[in-house]
Chain A
């Protein structure tokens, strides 16, 4: 007889095995490894919650300590490979295969291990792709997640860093998987319920709060005149003419400079209310002056940011908050918002080639994609019009029938022509290609493809790639803003001049900007302390950003 509920039967057997080391749903800290040995089977797909910021660090340490005769050859399906333990699992043989999205701090070691054959790589994804595959072919058998608190029924409060948790739990729990949560405390009544208890099978109290990294704090004191100049050009040369109101910012210093110029330079241009009013964005401290000056109507966030909790709570008109008053973030929804509801992505990168392909990969580091390609791509499935989207579509394709013409998302790369240690931003060939050859990958890890990029901004000017009609024009438009890099000095000067006359390239002076005006006095806040002041004392920066 055909059985149709094998997975449910198997799940029940796992729960029964786990229940032997639990009291109800609660498991003592010292018994976690035994719990994992009881519920995880060799070869299981396991999601060990490693988000962009929040880490299930107790559970990753416990998983690393399992008896490998009982638990081995796991297939890890997790968005972030962030903690050393995430890779130790492969060194020990607990895990064998990996599908992931982001590996920031482990980017060098993951490259070494991939090259050394320690890890069998499924694929490197964007967040949305990996989340999507959780529901199609990479559904976890077991999810190990992190929350702030739980009650005895297993209801979870995630606090402001909800991040990936609802997505991971949805995919696991509704497909006969097991969900195990580490929490900072077990309480009688939760401030709010982020994850209903019937989706959570076991709860472990951790001795110390889960690790959260402040990834989105940029100290205004480190912003350079070059970054201020590119930020002025972005505001006057892109935000203003397209009227960009709905957008996402990257996490670099150039976009922090834009955030800090809105209340000064932007105000002088009379742009308040006309640009930069709705964001898909983490709670960037650098945006506080613009919020306080009445620029920002609404922000939805992927995660939270250390030190911003009280400020967010006090500015609930701007942020999404729960009945308890604290931020509710959600990476999957915010990524979708960034993809479909924003008219512009603007961010920095490490390398741009002559076709406009960009990458943050170097031959020895694989940082993964995270969410940037979701924001920084033109969504072909978009159907609702908006002025910036239609205008960009018109520029790319002026001659087609307006009613049948797709709009275009503005995908803008902003940066200085030379980065740290005089490393050029523009290159003939991306390091990502060499890396793909070395690791025998089918695809070179390209962050944003050239055909998605609409503008490149450097201190030398703005290249509008929407107006380029062929490959030669694109290449020369890119060379024309590449400054004194080899790529920039390899330009055809006359051709670049003709592109400038057509407005494909615009210099600061073409925009009425004097580079000598790019001064730090234009920044609404020049230090972390200024940000605290702007927030009325509500922003509490982590100690590494305090120097007073």
Chain B
């Protein structure tokens, strides 16, 4: 197991009101993402616990692209990774960000 943490400042706050969301499953080649709206509006935090070691630079690149594209200000992402491929990680992060845009109901 390897723990990785990435903190970014963002251009804007993630839209929507939803306080939390969860997507994905912890399984081989997959990952689970828990999102909480607990950060200051111009910050986001990603905490990753991954089964695959030695992919820190790939995570860094995936996370940087995600933050640039979705500007998830105010969100904290807790990720349990079962060795998912980078494209799957990108997809789950995008799905998680979209879930947070929904109204809180």
Interface residues of A (CB under 8 A from B): 224-226, 229, 416-418, 422, 459-460, 483-484, 489, 515-516, 518
Across the interface, do B91 and A226 meet the contact criterion of CB distance under 8 Å?
yes
Give the A-B contact count at a CB cut-off of 8 A.
38
B49 at the interface (CB under 8 A from A): no
Given contact pairs A484-B87, A516-B91, A516-B94, a sample of 20 additional A-B residue pairs in the complex whose CB atoms are under 8 Å apart: A225-B88, A225-B91, A226-B88, A226-B91, A229-B91, A416-B85, A417-B86, A418-B87, A422-B52, A422-B55, A459-B87, A459-B91, A460-B87, A483-B86, A483-B87, A484-B61, A484-B86, A515-B94, A516-B98, A518-B91
27 A–B contact pairs at CB < 8 A? A224-B88, A225-B88, A225-B91, A226-B85, A226-B87, A229-B91, A417-B85, A417-B86, A417-B87, A418-B85, A418-B87, A422-B52, A422-B55, A422-B85, A459-B87, A459-B91, A460-B87, A483-B86, A484-B58, A484-B86, A489-B61, A515-B91, A515-B94, A516-B91, A516-B94, A516-B95, A518-B91
Closest B residue to A423 by beta carbon equals: B85
**Cα–Cα distance between A164 and B10 once the two chains are bound (Å):** 62
Given B61, B86, B94, B95, which contacts A418 in the complex, CB threshold below 8 Å? B86
Residues of A with C-beta under 8 A to B87: 226, 416-418, 459-460, 483-484
B46 at the interface (CB under 8 A from A): no
**Which residues of chain B (14-63) have a CB below 8 Å from chain A?**
52, 55, 58, 61-62
Residues of A with C-beta under 8 A to B88: 224-226
Interface residues of B (CB under 8 A from A): 52, 55, 58, 61-62, 83, 85-88, 91, 94-95, 98
Chain B nearest CB from A230 CB (Å) reads 10
Please list the 4 inter-chain residue pairs (A to B) with the smallest Cβ-Cβ separation, ordered nearest first.
A484-B86, A418-B85, A459-B87, A484-B58
Across the interface, do B83 and A422 meet the contact criterion of CB distance under 8 Å?
yes
Q: Which of A224, A422, A483, A484 has the most chain B CB atoms inside 10 A of its CB?
A: A484
Closest A residue to B89 by beta carbon equals: A484
Chain A nearest CB from B23 CB (Å) reads 11
Residues of B with C-beta under 8 A to A224: 88
Residues of A with C-beta under 8 A to B91: 225-226, 229, 459, 515-516, 518
Residues of A with C-beta under 8 A to B85: 226, 416-418, 422
**Cα–Cα distance between A515 and B89 once the two chains are bound (Å):** 13
Residues of A with C-beta under 8 A to B83: 422
Chain A nearest CB from B32 CB (Å) reads 15
**Cα–Cα distance between A226 and B61 once the two chains are bound (Å):** 19
Residues of A with C-beta under 8 A to B95: 516
Chain B nearest CB from A298 CB (Å) reads 35
Chain B nearest CB from A525 CB (Å) reads 22
Residues of B with C-beta under 8 A to A484: 58, 61-62, 86-87
Chain B nearest CB from A436 CB (Å) reads 29
**Cα–Cα distance between A417 and B91 once the two chains are bound (Å):** 13
Chain A nearest CB from B8 CB (Å) reads 17
